[in-house]
Structure 1
Amino acid sequence: MADVCYSNFREWFPELVKVIDQAAFFAIDLEFLGLPSSARDDLVPTLFDESEQRYKKIVGSVRRYPPCQLGIAAFMERDDGASYEVESFAIPLFKRLPHKQVFSYSLSAVSFLANNNFDFNKFIVEGVTYSNARQTREMKAEILSGGIDYDIFEDGLEHRLQILKINFQRAAQNAIRLSHNTFHRSPSARSSTCGLQLPHPILIELVRSGEFIDTDTVDQTMHPPWDRPLSPLEKAVIEYVFTNDHRHLEFSVSHDGSLLYVAELPVLTLLHYSEEEWVAEKLDKLLLEVSGVSEIVRLMLARKVPIVGHNSFLDLVYLYECFVDDLPDSYDDWKAATRKEMPTVFDTKIIACLLKAQLSENGVTDHSLKTLGAFFESASCGQILPFSYPAISEGPCSQFVFGVGEHFHNAAFDARVTGSIFIKMLYLYAYTKSSGHGDFSRLWQLRKLIFACRNDFANRVPIPLIDYLHCYLPGADPHGHRPAPLRVRKRRRWPWMGMLNGRSERTVDAVVDWIVGRQKFTEHDMVPLRGELKREMGAFRVDVARSEEEEGVALVATNTPKTFARVARYLAAHTSIRPIDEKNCESVSWEELLMSSEELKRRRRVQRRRRKTTGDHNSICREEETEGEDRMGTIALLTAGITSSLFIVGTVIYWSKS
């Protein structure tokens, strides 16, 4: 794994470009300072979220919690797929630019990172900056306008630049005076028209180094503006600012950042560049420093090779916002934009779900990266297929290899594991799909493997805790099979209500609701109900919300049939809440409850689809109103007799027991 950071980023840049040009695919991973579940209440994901709602919550979280590390694993195919070479890069991310940006972090995320040996000091000191296309465009426009305050790059930079300008003027004047005293030199026609002319190159000290410097060319009486090594960004700012002010001169900061070299532009340079082009090149160099890691990501995406992740929905959203451009307002627009930048995306969790049967037979029921990584590195993995997987070795840039299971949640290691299991999963899926009849006498090329499998899982990314199978980047997300929310209402607390069975209670409720209205749920009611269900259900996921369509109804959402059955039975026996259902939850099996839930869910989906395709809201409403009028008419005819009878019977029973 290569450790790329702020101080060595420019040194690694050529090697990164070389690796990117050779890669057959990239595996990526990001670590963050917070997750949506840690955000404020309106950004916390729930089981009620539709795709659009979830996307907007993710966008809010991404803009609140920045990424802190990017892991890139570039896999290069060797010998037509017989082996692979991988280069892994760990890049700490710390946005140093600009506009007084404020970000947050969550305690749970920071604690998690600390427990996994994340170096926060390195994150701040050595984190590499980044900016997306919109931010870079705005920065360029601000620089060209001439009104930029360079303190946005580094505190005190504007003041240091002013000192350096004074030092440069003094050094230039000293050089000119010494030249005139020594011999008379007529200025060239060009230098006369450009203003300041130098008889010979000069050096200006930027950092007091304490080493011997030729005092004939360096004015040691001037105070150097810096007392530390210059950052690459500061070097680029100096070269651009001075080149823009003195376009006939060449300004270059030494590699160690201690000296500024100044001379008239060489004739050969003038043959290839105009002064405007020379300034533009310096500006491009400055903007390259502003972009930082974003330039690497853009080069990756320009290759249009597959991007591989694990449970990567959040990674893809971060990747777009931080390194590509501002996130679109709508979910569908984001999918279209992501498809344009990343035509082929694979997610190893999606593939693991398709291989669930084969993995379960070998004891793998958890599809986390750590579990899958451990399995595909184990000896039992090699027993699934009658042939060996291709060898995967580290490239020359990778300085060391992590021990198995020791450094998960280091983004580079996670990316490396993700790419490795991706290759092995492709073989397992292709072999399974061919029912063992495919020609695997020799290992396949990657493009052949992908061609055989891509229609089944390409461009599909899991979205946790949502009623869709996955995010499908090319089109509409396929609906999931989760139970519909359980509709519940308050029980009436009349003394004799507890003596009625479920059918009688519903009848009384219907009559009383028609007369006085249904008891309402308030947000004050939701808090204890939500807390109670989460305590009782333990690890089972449950969410509660008030219904926006039905007054006096609360919705209890679950994510699995098992949880649905558990919640339905619990609420059927509850003292203050009961499910609204055609049958009594206590007297039917959970399978029947689930089927009625699925039927209700199906009917509502058909109605929504009909509204969307035909726009005929009125016909549907008329059908519902007709059904409602028939029911209410029947109830109205029986109201007087039923109400009086039940009241008398209830009162007699109550006083007889008293």
Structure 2
Amino acid sequence: MDVDADQFAESLSFLRDIIYEADFVSLDIQVTGLHSNSSQPQQISLFDLPSEWYMKTRQSASSVQFLNQYGFDYNKFLKNGIPYMNEEQEKKLRESILRGNWRVGSSLDKDQIKVVIDKVTRWLDLAEEGDRMTLPGIAGFQAYEVQMVLRQALPDIWTVLKDEGVVVKKVSQPHRWYLENDSCDQIRCWRQEILLSARGFSGFIEMLVRAQKPLIGHNMTMDLLHLHEKFFKPLPESYDEFKQNIHSLFPVVIDTKNVSKDIWKELHFPQASNLSEVYDVLSSDLNPTNNSGPEIIHGSKCEKYAENKYSHKAGNDAFLCGSILLKVAHLILEKLHGSGSVDEITFSQYLAVLDPYVNQVNII
């Protein structure tokens, strides 16, 4: 299912239930790159030690070109994207809000805010007390930003968020004072709403950490780097410290590329250079356990991925990754115990045969 900023808050409880009911969580992160203080990223080599690879990748350039190549919808992302922040950024924002000097930062730039203020100011010149105007197309974190700035700049207006956008109402000074002191809209409530809205997807990642479910990815080292930097803390200089941090967040990590490499060698499967090709081989008759493996279907609200291929779309790739995990685990289980020897297979049995691959990720 696709969830944008408008739907995120109402979908969070549904997503939480899914996480806690799941045996594992498969992820794929499509983002624009890691923060870099270096203008000259170093060339990665096949001969790099893991620590050397980490240091170079930590300074990697943006992957915007890759995302553009595969049709990443930047217009949709910029309009409907869910905000996020790591713990350090959240701390700074919280302190700024509490000091009362919070300013518009990431979601809307100053020029956009100036346009909104000018538009409302021109309307105010002709409006009478009680008149309303609507600023359409503003939702999520942007809606809180716009309302906060308008309330600070214009003492004779009040704002509310409706389905159609931010509604601005001209009010008297006494009415404004009453609204500001109403229990449902005190400034402390606003500050908390702003912080929660700004955290956005970070709240979902926090739920993922608390659930302590096995985390599955394919060639997932970059995914882990992004998880660390975008939602936890800036990447440390030490590779060992990075590994310790990830292990504290996600005690069980399985990289399906690492798992599938051994199977490919042993069964002489044809070369598969990407996630989709690995899935296709395991779903074909080349896989001796293809007909006896678990039935894998798409969940509700995810039917579009069953009808069409969406290569390099995060939702589709995460589904393929989870499917590969189950297919490879079933193959290993039957190799160890023989075909049909286990009547009712549980995920715990799959996890047991995958134990040699736990917390080992592919680097190149």
Q: Do the structures match in fold with TM over 0.5?
A: yes
- 1:447 is matched with 348
Matched with 1:205 is 133
Distance 1:237 1:34 in 2: 26
2:246 is aligned to: 338
| 1:149 aligned counterpart, secondary structure | coil
Alpha-carbon contact 2:141-2:198 (below 8 Å) kept: yes
Structure 1 CA distance for aligned equivalents of residues 357 and 5 of structure 2: 37
Matching residue of 1:416: 319
User: Does residue 102 of structure 2 align to residue 148 of structure 1?
Assistant: yes
Matched, 1:43 2:39: no
User: Is residue 259 of structure 1 aligned with residue 167 of structure 2?
Assistant: yes
Match of residue 233 from structure 2? 325
Q: Bigger relative contact order, structure 1 or 2, given CA contacts below 8 A and separation 6+?
A: 2
Contact 2:43–2:56 (8 Å) recurs in 1: yes
CA separation of 1:399 and 1:282: change in aligned 2, threshold 3 A = farther
Tell me by how many angstroms 1:9 deviates.
3.5
1:17 aligned to 2:20? Answer: no
1:418 shift after superposition: 0.4
2:330 aligns with one of 418, 424, 427: 427
- Residue by residue over 1:542-575, the C-alpha shift from the partner in whole angstroms, topping out at 9 and shown as x without a partner, is xxxxxxxxxxxxxxxxxxxxxxxxxxxxxxxxxx
Trace 1:497-508 onto structure 2 (pairs within 5 A).
Answer: none
- Choose the corresponding residue for 1:122, options 67, 76, 80: 76
Between the aligned residues of both structures, percent identity stands at 23
For residues 161 and 285 of structure 1, do their structure 2 counterparts lie closer, same or farther at Cα, with a shift above 3 Å needed? Answer: farther
**Preserved CA contact (<8 Å) 2:117 2:150:** no
Q: Do 2:215 and 2:253's aligned partners in 1 also have CA atoms closer than 8 Å?
A: yes
Counterpart for residue 296 of structure 2 = 392
Q: 1:438 to 1:384 in 2, by over 3 A?
A: closer
- Cα separation, 2, equivalents of 1:398 and 1:233: 26
> 1:85 corresponds to which residue?
none
Q: Does 1:291 align with 2:199?
A: yes
1:407 aligns to 2:310 (yes or no):
yes
Q: CA RMSD in A?
A: 3.7
| Per-residue deviation, 1:445 | 1.8
Give the equivalent residue in structure 2 for 1:186. none
- Separation in structure 2 between the aligned mates of residue 35 and residue 240 of structure 1, nearest angstrom: 31
TM-score (norm 1): 0.47
Tell me how far 1:409 sits from its aligned partner.
1.4
Deviations 1:575-618 (A, max 9, x none): xxxxxxxxxxxxxxxxxxxxxxxxxxxxxxxxxxxxxxxxxxxx
Give the counterpart letter for 1:351 in structure 2: V
Secondary structure at the aligned position of 2:18 is classed as helix
SS of the residue 1:29 aligns to: coil
Is the CA contact (8 Å cut-off) linking 2:134 and 2:167 kept in structure 1? yes
Please state how far the C-alpha of 1:339 moved relative to its aligned partner. Answer: 0.6
Determine the C-alpha separation between the residues in 2 that align with 1:426 and 1:374.
16
Q: Is the 8 A contact 2:160 2:168 kept in 1?
A: yes
Do the aligned residues in 2 keep the contact of 1:352 with 1:367 (CA within 8 Å)?
A: no
Tell me whether 1:233 sits opposite 2:134 in the alignment: no
Paired letter, 1:428? L
- What is the CA deviation profile of residues 55-82 of structure 1, one whole-angstrom value per residue up to 9, with x for unaligned ones? 1111111xx426xxxxxxxxxxxxxxxx
Distance 1:152 1:407 in 2: 30
Pair 1:258–1:33, CA change in 2 (3 A): closer
Q: Is the 8 A contact 2:253 2:360 kept in 1?
A: yes
State the Cα deviation string for residues 204-230 of structure 1 (Å, max 9, x = none).
4233xxxxxxxxxxxxxxxxxxxx422
State whether structure 2 residue 274 is matched by structure 1 residue 368: yes
Distance 2:179 2:198 in 1: 26
Name 2:2's counterpart in structure 1: 3
Deviation at 1:238, TM superposition (A): 4.8
> Which amino acid in structure 1 is aligned with residue 133 of structure 2?
E
Aligned residue runs from structure 1 range 441-590, under 5 A: 441-442=343-344, 444-450=345-351, 452-464=352-364
Q: Give the counterpart letter for 2:346 in structure 1.
A: Q
Cα distance change, pair 51–380 in 1 and its aligned pair in 2 (3 A): closer
Q: Which amino acid aligns with 1:417?
A: L
Instruction: Name which of structure 1's ranges 160-169 and 312-321 shifts more when overlaid on structure 2.
Output: 160-169
Give the structure with higher Rg (CA).
Answer: 1
Give me the whole-angstrom Cα distance separating, in 2, the residues matched to 1:308 and 1:129: 23
Instruction: State the distance in 1 between where 2:106 and 2:200 align.
Output: 16
Partner Cα distance (2:123, 2:21) in 1: 47
Cα deviation, residue 420, structure 1: 0.8
* Alpha-carbon offset, residue 415 of structure 1: 0.7
Q: How does 1:91-240 map to 2 (within 5 A)?
A: 105-106=64-65, 109=66, 113-114=68-69, 116-150=70-104, 152-155=106-109, 156=111, 158-159=113-114, 160=116, 204-207=132-135, 228-238=136-146
What runs of 5+ residues in structure 1 fail to find an aligned partner? 67-104, 176-201, 208-227, 465-658
Could you tell me how far apart the structure 2 residues matched to 1:266 and 1:124 are? 31
Could you give the per-residue CA deviations for residues 107-144 of structure 1, whole angstroms, max 9, x where no partner exists?
xx25xx42x34334334443333221111211222233
CA offsets, 1:490-514, max 9 Å, x none? xxxxxxxxxxxxxxxxxxxxxxxxx
**Residues 252 and 359 of structure 2 are in contact (CA less than 8 Å); yes or no, is this contact kept in structure 1?**
yes
Output the CA distance in 2 between the equivalents of 1:429 and 1:117: 36
SS at match of 2:165: coil
The AA in structure 2 aligned to 1:65 is S
Residues 443-471 of structure 1 deviation map (CA, whole Å, 9 limit, x = unaligned): x2212321x2243111110111xxxxxxx
Contact 1:252–1:260, Cα closer than 8 Å, also in 2:
yes
Residue by residue, what CA displacement relative to the aligned partner does 1:407-461 show, whole Å, maximum 9, x if unpaired? 2212211111000111111111122233x2884122x2212321x2243111110
Query: Is the CA contact (8 Å cut-off) linking 1:309 and 1:415 kept in structure 2?
Result: yes
Provide Cα deviations, 1:94-117, integer angstroms capped at 9, x if missing partner: xxxxxxxxxxx44xx25xx42x34
The alpha-carbon distance between structure 1 residues 296 and 165, as it changes in their structure 2 partners (threshold 3 A), is: farther
